[in-house]
Amino acid sequence: MPATLPLRHLLLALAVVSVWGSNFVIIRFGLDHLPPLLFAALRFVFALVPAMFLLPRPKVPLKNLAAYGLLVGVGQCGLLNLAMDGHISPGLASLVIQTQVFFTIGLSILLAGERVYRFQWSALLLAAAGIGVIAANSDGTTTPAGLALVLLGALAWAGGNIASVRARPDNMLAYVAWSSAFAIVPLLALSLALEGWQRVSQGLRDAGPATWAAVVWQSWANALFGYAVWGWLLKRHPAATVMPMALLVPVFGMGASALWLGEPLPPWKLAAAALVIAGLALNLLWPLVRARLLRHYG
């Protein structure tokens, strides 16, 4: 991490990535009682209700706000919750969802004609090799359907990234909070249609303090706190100083799952993590390394 980041700000960045990483274990706790789509809907209810009274609606087109809410709410969170409902372990989910970086690059190429560089192809191949290792192995907690759902969720997240880049909101926290309004109704409708009223009502009856704490954590810690602090850091430091910290999200995710849920970390899983994180690191850090080499050696 560049030394230009003060210690207090470094600790804040670590707090955010630890919240984002450990959030996958929190999702697993919440799914013990709540159906996955209902859980996702409640996350956005709790994110919207306090924020709408504290933050002004962002000055972006409603169509864009709706697109972000649907892609991130129904696409990313809904599919991720479905996958984690017995189809993929939290640690692997925290790793695979990071492929959103490469889906974002791909969508940027398709929609905006952005150029793809050789180092990005190399980064993609590394990450794809890691996903291949996951697909070829299983510890009994991950299925092909679970892997596919998380990859689709990563694709939806990438679409949300494109929507937010096009909107260029002044306040990303307000943008995330107000977009929640467009995720709630579709998620509730899908929950009733696919999970059924009986399962929904039973889940609400069974939900105790720990389950509601998981909902609140998802809404306030993962979404509101995370985006607020991350945006605050990005306003005070170059993105190149802050963004590398995001590489620690799957590290915290896999570590928290191993520590709290006893998720095994066999060699193949560590190898997959190394490949995916190496791909992410190459994509993020190579331009910085190249620029520094050019400055020093011309």
Q: What is the pLDDT of residues 226-250, one digit of tens each?
A: 988 988 888 888 777 888 889 999 9
The answer to the question of residue 150 being in a domain is: yes
Residue 290 has pLDDT above 90, yes or no: no
- Written as one letter, the residue type at 97 is I
101 CB burial (10 A radius; 0-12, 13-18, 19+) = buried
CB 134 within 8 A of CB 147: yes
Q: How far apart are CA 154 and CA 98, in angstroms?
A: 7
Phi, psi of 180 (to 5 degrees): -60, -30
Contact 101, 244 (CB under 8 A): no
CA–CA separation, 67 vs 143, rounded Å? 29
Assess if residue 58 is contained within a domain: yes
Confidence band, pLDDT 50/70/90 cuts, at residue 4: low
Residue 265 has pLDDT above 60, yes or no: yes
Distance, CA of 233 to CA of 53 (rounded, Å): 24
Q: How do residues 47-91 score in pLDDT, each as one tens digit?
A: 999 888 999 999 999 999 999 999 999 999 999 999 999 999 999
Percent of the chain predicted with pLDDT > 70:
98
Q: What is the mean pLDDT of residues 30-34?
A: 96
- In-domain check, residue 26: yes
Mean pLDDT of 6-17: 92
Helix and strand numbers, DSSP H then E, in the chain:
16, 0
| 2 occurs within a structural domain | no
In the prediction, which pLDDT does 298 show? 58
Q: Does 97 score more than 90 pLDDT?
A: yes
pLDDT exceeds cutoff 90 at 5: no
**Residue 167 pLDDT greater than 50, yes or no:** yes
Q: Structural domain of residue 108, as residue ranges?
A: 7-297
Q: What is the pLDDT of residue 141?
A: 83
Both structure tokens of 81: 């919750």
Domain contains 1: no
Q: What is the pTM of this model?
A: 0.92
Q: How many domains does the chain have?
A: 1
C-alpha to C-alpha distances, 33 to 10, 22, 76, 85, nearest whole angstrom: 36, 19, 21, 11
Residue 249 has phi, psi (to 5 degrees) of -60, -55
Choose among 220, 280, 276, 261: nearest CA to 25.
Answer: 261
In a domain, 89, yes or no: yes
Number of Cβ within a 10 Å radius of residue 259: 11
Any domain includes 239: yes
Average pLDDT for the chain: 92
Identify the pLDDT of residue 207.
Answer: 96
Instruction: Note whether residue 253 is domain-resident.
Output: yes
pLDDT at 139: 72
Residue with tokens 């170059």: 238
pLDDT value, residue 129: 96
For the chain, give the percent of residues with pLDDT over 90.
Answer: 75
Distance CA 199, CA 185 (A): 18
Query: Average pLDDT, stretch 39-44?
Result: 97
Say if residue 2's pLDDT is above 50: no
Q: Which residue has the tokens 């560590």?
A: 270
State the Cα–Cα distance between residues 34 and 215, nearest whole angstrom: 10
pLDDT at 6 over 90: no
